[in-house]
Structure 1
Amino acid sequence: MASRAKVAAATLVAAVVGVGLGVAYDPYLLVRAQFERQRLNAGLAEGEVSASGHRWTYSVANGAPRGAPTIVMIHGFTGSKENWYPLADQLRGRYRLLIPDLPGWGESERKADTDYGFVAQSERVADFIRKMSPNKPVVLLGHSMGGGIAALVAARHPELVAKVGLLNAAGVRFKDNQFGLDVLAGKNPFGVDDAASLQRYIDTVFHRQAAKPWIPWPASRGLIAMRKRDAAFEQAVLERIGRSDEALLPGEEATRIRQPALLLWCRQDVVIDSSALDLYAQRIPQARKVLLDECGHMSLMERPQQVADAVKDLVAASTPTR
């Protein structure tokens, strides 16, 4: 018995030392461990696929009833598939969920000197849908930058998109706020290069204190280092989606969206002002409008239950005959 206890103790010590060495080598390991826990809680598996000349990583929930709708979720600027996990947890078991890292972001492939703006990414998302849901239109959800991408896919490829949901979506000239003015001035308001700017980033995208993620040291060190490495890439993408001639293209082409649609915002969004909801609604008159209170830019993480209810209503909406 004493011998087994010694072995168990030694194994535990070795495991703790191993984790400690791993974190010392890669402080971002703690962040990834938290993402892994959320993924498992949401019942999601991992996958990879090649589409549009890129290697994509994605999370998938296949445990829905046969014939259930497929929902594809597209994340925003500086985001990743993990942003959708709280919402996926609310929707598990009802639908087939496909949640990719967009090319260039997260764990998906990034190529040097490649366009990752609205138009280019919308064509890549269209290819991803063709590959992952052949001959079956999907419900397409997009958040922030991903909302602008989703609007273009729904407008340009209606055969691929049965219904579309735009959450805190970019792509229209909303009421001036500090974030928008900084983007137009050539800055990256989401830029992170030290602990103070990391906290500013979190405070900008989240409204409710209780919803803000806690990122302890040394995980914060790893996240800061990653964002510093990505600074040039982020600036290049922001140049395309925030300051180029395609910055307002999603809103302009939204007039071509005929599918049932959802427009969902948070009243306290200081990134993309909630005035954008009505601007999109003018272009998509059939859309259902949902304005949530006491949440900021990350509606899908701050209010996952309310967002899930709105998504369920969207899925249940009847599709008009053409």
Structure 2
Amino acid sequence: MTASDGARIAVETSEPEGGGDHRVTLVLVHGWTQDRRTWDRVVGELSPGVRTVRYDLRGHGDSDPAGPRSATIDRLADDLAEVIATQVPSGPIVLAGHSMGGMTIMALADRHPDLVARRVAGAAFVATSSGNMDRLTLGFPGALGRGAARLERRLAKLLVAYRRERLPVARPLAALGGRFLVFGKRPRKDDVRSVAEQLRKAHPRSIGGFQNAISLHNRVTALAALATVPTVVLVGDRDRLTPVEHAEAIAEELPHARFVLFPGAGHMITQERWTGVADAIAGLIADAGTTAVPGGTAADGAATDRAATGGAEAGSPRRSRATPTST
């Protein structure tokens, strides 16, 4: 797909097996320094009857780099709107965003509220944040945490000024850093390797620019546009990048959200706990398939019913703790 500013965006569409009914389309948005492969395990777990669209954010994977003015979450939201317009021109949509992908969905709600009201029948916020990303400590205490945050900002500035097209990071070093920063207990070697490969494929100046955009991200008020949409908020209790309190802040703004905590998991729950993530998304897809009008009264009723049957007080997020498994 070619975006409105000329950037080429790599898009991958998976049609239902046998050309079956696909009233609902799942659109998957990956996070910072990764690409559409983030969703491989989740997509593999979903029913073959689900139509999926996933793509590489600009500056990542097979898409064109982001320029100095386009390495923003606002631009990513506009790209998402264009992906929807070109790849899913009609029918209800379920959106799922991991990390910066979740931030992109929030920005979509802020910048394209009519699109969200007309088309979005469900949203999954996966290991993401609605703001305060400039205060991250990467899990370190006290002065060490503040130093880690300053170091991250300094690295972002260096990347913005870097002139080469690939990161100067050897595969073993990328894997070691990824293992510590984005995974919880006992990650699979294949998953650590995949995260490192995606990082090394990302465009340096682009990810430096996006890191600055992430630190400025504040979309708490934008969540109001999704208040009547069925939502799930998912997080690992060992997430260093978007900690549990960030997920809780999102859920507090979404009256009918289902909140799921994955014990022992880090930031990459799309790989560490892919079955649980897929199950949560599949529930949104199932609900969307029975909802007459996305964002309308039928959607409101479905969300309220789920909150009630889950034993939660109406208008409060339903919390659940995922059982630790191999996935």
The residue aligned with 1:251 is 220
Alignment check: 8 A CA contact 1:87 1:308 kept: yes
Q: 3-state DSSP class of the match of 1:236?
A: helix
The residue aligned with 1:100 is 55
CA distance in 2, matches of 1:295, 1:192: 28
The residue aligned with 1:321 is 296
The residue aligned with 2:313 is none
* Residue in structure 2 matching 1:296, options 266, 275, 289: 266
Q: 3-state DSSP class of the match of 1:213?
A: helix
- Kindly name which structure, 1 or 2, has the bigger radius of gyration based on alpha carbons: 1
Alignment check: 8 A CA contact 2:126 2:235 kept: yes
CA distance in 1, matches of 2:261, 2:192: 29
Q: 3-state DSSP class of the match of 1:54?
A: coil
Query: Per-residue displacement from partner, 1:279-307 (whole Å, max 9, x unpaired)?
Result: 00111111111111121100111111111
Instruction: Classify 1:308/1:54 alpha carbon distance in 2 versus 1 (closer, same or farther; 3 Å).
Output: same
Alignment check: 8 A CA contact 1:198 1:224 kept: no
Higher mean alpha-carbon deviation, 91-100 vs 185-194, is at 185-194
Q: Provide runs of 4+ in structure 1 moved above 4 Å.
A: 188-192, 219-227
Q: 3-state DSSP class of the match of 1:209?
A: coil
CA distance in 2, matches of 1:67, 1:214: 30
* Aligned AA (1:78): T
CA distance in 1, matches of 2:22, 2:198: 40
Compute the displacement of 1:225 (Å): 6.3
The residue aligned with 1:151 is 106
The residue aligned with 1:232 is 205
* Aligned AA (2:60): W
Relative contact order (C-alpha < 8 Å, sep 6+): which is higher?
2
The residue aligned with 2:183 is 206
* Aligned AA (2:76): Q
Alignment check: 8 A CA contact 1:192 1:198 kept: no
Identity within the alignment, %: 21
Instruction: Classify 1:160/1:127 alpha carbon distance in 2 versus 1 (closer, same or farther; 3 Å).
Output: farther
* Residue in structure 2 matching 1:262, options 232, 241, 255: 232
Query: Per-residue displacement from partner, 1:238-278 (whole Å, max 9, x unpaired)?
Result: 11121x3xx11x22311221311111111111111011121
Instruction: Classify 1:197/1:103 alpha carbon distance in 2 versus 1 (closer, same or farther; 3 Å).
Output: closer
Instruction: Classify 1:133/1:213 alpha carbon distance in 2 versus 1 (closer, same or farther; 3 Å).
Output: same
The residue aligned with 1:8 is none
Q: Aligned pair 1:177/2:177, yes or no?
A: no
| Count of aligned pairs | 266
Compute the displacement of 1:74 (Å): 0.2
Q: 3-state DSSP class of the match of 1:300?
A: helix
Instruction: Classify 1:161/1:223 alpha carbon distance in 2 versus 1 (closer, same or farther; 3 Å).
Output: closer
Higher mean alpha-carbon deviation, 86-95 vs 203-212, is at 203-212
CA distance in 2, matches of 1:119, 1:187: 23
TM-score by length of 2: 0.72
* Residue in structure 2 matching 1:279, options 249, 259, 262: 249
Instruction: Classify 1:204/1:94 alpha carbon distance in 2 versus 1 (closer, same or farther; 3 Å).
Output: same
Alignment check: 8 A CA contact 1:129 1:160 kept: no
Alignment check: 8 A CA contact 2:16 2:22 kept: no
Alignment check: 8 A CA contact 1:167 1:264 kept: yes
Q: 3-state DSSP class of the match of 1:254?
A: helix
Instruction: Classify 1:223/1:167 alpha carbon distance in 2 versus 1 (closer, same or farther; 3 Å).
Output: closer
Q: Aligned pair 1:308/2:285, yes or no?
A: no
For structure 1, the 5+ residue unaligned runs are 1-48
Higher mean alpha-carbon deviation, 167-176 vs 131-140, is at 167-176
Instruction: Classify 1:268/1:225 alpha carbon distance in 2 versus 1 (closer, same or farther; 3 Å).
Output: closer
The residue aligned with 2:308 is none
Instruction: Classify 1:146/1:320 alpha carbon distance in 2 versus 1 (closer, same or farther; 3 Å).
Output: closer
Compute the displacement of 1:91 (Å): 0.9
Compute the displacement of 1:112 (Å): 3.3
CA distance in 1, matches of 2:266, 2:43: 19
Instruction: Classify 1:51/1:184 alpha carbon distance in 2 versus 1 (closer, same or farther; 3 Å).
Output: same
CA distance in 1, matches of 2:96, 2:7: 21
